[in-house]
Structure 1
Amino acid sequence: VAVETTQRSVSLAAPAESFPAVDVGFVYPPRLAEGGVADPLLGVPWVNDREAILRSRQKGETIARLRSAGLPTPETVVVSNPADEATLRAAFDAVGPPVVVKPNATSRGIGVTRVDDIDSFLGVCDYLELVHDYTATGDRSFLVQEYIPQARDYRVTIVDGTVVGAVERRADGWVHNVHRGGHAVSVDLAVEHRSLAEQAAAALGIPWLGVDLLVTDERSLISETNARPTIDDAKYHDGFWTELAELIRRIGSGG
């Protein structure tokens, strides 16, 4: 059952008329304000609750939690914008060019850019200070991250701690997100990459999760996660739907 939380009105005086009766929520609504209304009115447990969405959406927090768990990620500096020029130069130097600049709380590759020199980096930061206020969160912070050349880009899907499928995302440019023009090809992951993705899900405590891996001949890194991964039959193994249903049933029964 789809529970609509946006582009509508909700009567707080008659909540039973606002939403259908359900036993469990799958993924917390993407717009947190509307989710904050729906959550208490529905009164159900979520597979991925509000905190899970925030842990995955806020890239700086994700990287901090993964690194605290001893898991490999690209070198990263989080900048709380606005920051003075000395702070920005120090962030650029700490990572070393070329760097990748990412808004802290966007998805689908929105706002991600690669910068090769300090002057261009400061110019990008100027634009971020002027225009960046991502509507989903009001978050102006951004990441300065190590660029990983010639990396294979995998999206790995986790259900209840176990890999259920993976794709390699490919594109002509260096940004491989499908929403930015890339395409996905189903792959069988190596055991060590499956383990790395499962460790990421365990460290974040998120049962339904997409984990993005960057893999070169020398390194395997966790770049991002997504607690609202797209459901696409092509990327999952045969038992996926049963495993997903069992997860939803377990959460709904209080397990």
Structure 2
Amino acid sequence: MLRLAMTTDAETFERVRGPLADRGVEVGHVRAKERALRVSSGEAGGETAGTAAVDPDEFDGFDVGLVYPTRLMEGAVVDERLGVPWVNGRDAVVTSRNKAGVLARLSAAGLPTPKTTLVSNPVDESVVVDAVADFSYPVVVKPNSATRGVGVATATDLDSLLGVVDYLNLIHDYRATGDKSFLIQEFLPDARDYRAMVVDGEYAGAVERELDDDALAAGRWKHNVHRGATARGVELDPPARGLAERAAGALGIDYLGVDLLATDDRLVVNETNARPTVDAATKYEDAFYDRLAALIRRTANQE
């Protein structure tokens, strides 16, 4: 039985344990954040002498990890303690987290993306005015590295845009804030929001994220499941499947959630996620777990 380390114990962990165990992959949780992690034993002799004093047994016996920890500082310690290859390593996590970098790479590869401009704070107000000059309102404003829809807003005119930017400037004043950039992006009204899963270069299923009528009537528009939207399994058409696969190929990430926005006349890649939440198996292709288990096994054997 192959042992897989996962650094999340949320929905995905519980959903994948059974199906992967049926395919010869035992899933274990390794806690990577909101805890104390001893870095060294303080004794001479290097790693061997220190290993017994560093969380004994917790990191032992794993063959492979699924996704590198999202907190990179803690991740470096966990990675060293585990000493295993990752399906999605540090480079994949860093690449996907950078929304602007993803869109720039995909656009350069000829893939359709929303019209987007990156603004790197701090800048004068005039820079923001110039950056939005060739956009039509409303526009979307989003922090470059945030997840789950955190900090994402719409601006209906220049005054409201500058108000959102003032808020971001305030947040960015904190020294602990790393990425101080944000995106100004075209707003696609009434776009359908899909999360396609790509496993080892192949489309493996998708969900459509939807708001209920009450949320829509209240003026909400963000389709993040963590913000109350529901995810319904759907069959994407061949162009959408192909776009998701091309996005994963352009980024070189083996296990990827690709967020697609579709209107009556456009289909674009909006974002990607190298730490995708896995939904119920009924919402994916029949071979989803077969492909995932094969990718995990191949990654372990590359060590």
Q: TM-score, normalised by structure 1?
A: 0.95
Which residue of 116, 122, 125 maps to 1:76? 116
1:101-112 superposed matches below 5 A: 101-112=141-152
Single out whichever of 115-124 and 88-97 deviates more from structure 2.
88-97
Could you tell me how far 1:128 is from its partner in structure 2? 0.5
Which of structures 1 and 2 has the bigger CA Rg?
A: 2
The answer on 1:30 being equivalent to 2:70 is yes
Q: Deviation digits for residues 200-249 of structure 1, max 9, x if unmatched?
A: 00011111110000011111000000111111224212221111110000
Q: Give the 3 Å change call, closer, same or farther, for CA 137–245 of structure 1 in structure 2.
A: farther
Q: 1:134 and 1:198 mapped to 2: Cα distance? A: 38
State the SS of the aligned residue for 2:29. coil
The answer on 1:190 being equivalent to 2:237 is yes
Identity of aligned residues (%): 55
The residue aligned with 1:181 is 228
State the SS of the aligned residue for 1:224. strand
The residue aligned with 1:39 is 79
Could you tell me how far 1:30 is from its partner in structure 2? 1.0
Q: Give the 3 Å change call, closer, same or farther, for CA 47–77 of structure 1 in structure 2.
A: same
The residue aligned with 1:50 is 90
Unaligned ranges ≥5, structure 1: none
The residue aligned with 1:163 is 203
Amino acid at match of 2:285: H
Q: 2:135 and 2:122 mapped to 1: Cα distance? A: 19
The residue aligned with 2:267 is 220
Could you tell me how far 1:37 is from its partner in structure 2? 1.2
Amino acid at match of 2:146: T
CA contact (8 A) 1:100 1:112 kept: yes
The answer on 1:85 being equivalent to 2:125 is yes
Q: 1:9 and 1:20 mapped to 2: Cα distance? A: 18
Q: 1:59 and 1:48 mapped to 2: Cα distance? A: 17
CA contact (8 A) 1:157 1:165 kept: yes
CA contact (8 A) 1:105 1:134 kept: no
Q: Give the 3 Å change call, closer, same or farther, for CA 136–238 of structure 1 in structure 2.
A: farther
Amino acid at match of 1:30: T
Q: Give the 3 Å change call, closer, same or farther, for CA 232–161 of structure 1 in structure 2.
A: same
Unaligned ranges ≥5, structure 2: 1-27, 42-49
Q: Deviation digits for residues 139-173 of structure 1, max 9, x if unmatched?
A: 11100001011111111011101111101111123
The residue aligned with 1:250 is 298
CA contact (8 A) 1:31 1:136 kept: no
CA contact (8 A) 1:47 1:208 kept: yes
The answer on 1:9 being equivalent to 2:45 is no
Q: 1:134 and 1:252 mapped to 2: Cα distance? A: 40
Could you tell me how far 1:131 is from its partner in structure 2? 1.7
State the SS of the aligned residue for 1:56. helix
State the SS of the aligned residue for 2:130. helix
Q: Give the 3 Å change call, closer, same or farther, for CA 121–98 of structure 1 in structure 2.
A: same
Could you tell me how far 1:133 is from its partner in structure 2? 6.9
Could you tell me how far 1:135 is from its partner in structure 2? 9.7
Q: Give the 3 Å change call, closer, same or farther, for CA 228–215 of structure 1 in structure 2.
A: same
Q: Deviation digits for residues 81-133 of structure 1, max 9, x if unmatched?
A: 11111110011113332110000011111111111100111111011001247
Which residue of 181, 184, 191 maps to 1:141? 181
Q: TM-score, normalised by structure 2?
A: 0.80
Q: Deviation digits for residues 13-41 of structure 1, max 9, x if unmatched?
A: 33354323211111000111000111123
Q: 2:34 and 2:90 mapped to 1: Cα distance? A: 20
Single out whichever of 7-16 and 177-186 deviates more from structure 2.
7-16
State the SS of the aligned residue for 2:105. helix
Q: Give the 3 Å change call, closer, same or farther, for CA 137–236 of structure 1 in structure 2.
A: farther
State the SS of the aligned residue for 1:94. coil
Q: Give the 3 Å change call, closer, same or farther, for CA 225–136 of structure 1 in structure 2.
A: farther
Could you tell me how far 1:137 is from its partner in structure 2? 6.3
Aligned length: 255
